[in-house]
Amino acid sequence: MFRALLLEQDADGAVTNRVAELDEAQLPEGDVLVDVEYSTVNYKDGLAIKNLNRVVRSFPMVPGVDFAGKVAESSHPDFAAGDRVVLNGWGVGESHWGGYAQKARVPGDWLVTLPDAFSTEQAMAVGTAGYTSMLAVLALEEHDVTPDKGPIVVTGSSGGVGSTAIAILGKLGYEVVASTGRVGEADYLRGLGASEVIDRDELSGESPPLATGRWAGAVDAVGSTTLANILAATLENGCVAACGLAQGADLPTTVMPFILRGVTLAGINSVMVPRIRRRLCWERLGTDLDPDLLADMTTVEPLDALPRLADEILAGHIRGRVVIDVNA
């Protein structure tokens, strides 16, 4: 038996959550059984727990889009008992039971061997948010947005994606402009590596087709008019990595930034990513993310705290990263 946060739907469609004792036989199919040690809290997890935006595709469901732990049993050729592994995405916590449990059974092809640079707790301090940030930084690099080209603006900067992106970019030598709705977090953001902090209201209003160039690139977790304003103010041949929609899924812009300045809009999909690129992300995170800064942005909570944390992350009240100790 093991403990898990279980989402259940009744005949009227109402969804409830509870910490339940489950049997290993109830786990879905997969060729690797993992003793989960840590998971984390992502925006999508908040939506799943509160049954919003139809994130969860079937019930009952154990949410949690990522986890780290040790292999208990494996029939997959790449993994053996005792291996430390991490998982992000692949529909886990949405259509396949996820990380808010002491055990998980998944296809081995979804797993990545955890680099020695990370403990399982640190891996979930990084989590899907940090992994997404690294994918965004790789996109900037692959579009020749180097530190000498100009500043990088990071939106939603107090959250998990934004905080980690600032820490990575700062260590790599970029000048970082942090956009946040919580300007009281300015000292925290500067401590992570931001050289300037701006109020998100500067970017959240109606966007002109083109504006004075301000930055060489961006990591945007917000979308909507914020993303439109960022595109309008991106310098020639810049790149904007879009990875979220906290403000909205719409994009009220024009083609002008693309055809007059050669701006690239790079979409970041962290869910269905080939394993070779996942490995690259985790290797780079091991060298490009300061573990002390990671610790500064991280708190650890027990499994029972998840319903409260879901409310907090959806309300934008969580700073940095929250790790879930599933055994606490």
The per-residue b/e assignment along 174-189, b for 16 or more CB within 10 angstroms, e otherwise, is bbbbbbbbbeebbebb
pLDDT surpasses 90 at 246? no
The residues, any chain, with a CB within 8 Å of residue 9's CB and separated by 6 or more, are 15, 59, 60
Q: Which of 89, 94, 91, 97 is nearest to 34 (CA)?
A: 97
**Is pLDDT of 183 > 90?**
no
User: Does a structural domain hold residue 280?
Assistant: no
pLDDT for the residue 57: 87
pLDDT digits (tens, 9 = 90+) for 195-208: 999 999 999 999 99
Domain assignment present for 63: yes
Cα 118 to Cα 76, 148, 201, 291, 324, distances in angstroms: 23, 30, 37, 9, 16
Identify which of 322, 309, 321, 323 has the alpha carbon closest to the alpha carbon of residue 163: 321
pLDDT, tens digit (0-9, with 9 covering 90-100), for 123-164: 999 999 999 999 999 999 999 999 999 999 999 999 889 999
Residues 135 and 110 in one domain: no
Q: Does 288 map to a domain?
A: no
pTM of the model: 0.90
pLDDT at 320: 86
Is residue 290 situated within a structural domain?
Answer: no
The mean pLDDT value of the chain amounts to 95
**Are 169 and 234 part of one and the same domain?**
yes
Q: Do 140 and 44 share a structural domain?
A: no
Q: What is the CATH number of the domain that holds 47?
A: 3.90.180.10
Domain tally for the chain? 2
In a domain, 310, yes or no: yes
Residues 263 and 165 in one domain: yes
Q: Which domain holds residue 19?
A: 2-114+297-325
In a domain, 287, yes or no: no
Answer yes or no: is 283 within a domain.
no
Q: Are residues 35 and 293 in contact, defined by beta-carbon separation less than 8 angstroms?
A: no
With a cut of 90, say whether residue 13 has pLDDT above it.
no
Contact call for residues 215 and 234 (beta carbons, < 8 A): yes
Same domain, 198 and 165: yes
- Evaluate whether 318 touches 246 at the Cβ level (below 8 Å): no
Residue 2 has pLDDT above 90, yes or no: yes
- Res 319: pLDDT: 86
In a domain, 168, yes or no: yes
Is residue 53 scored above 90 in pLDDT? no
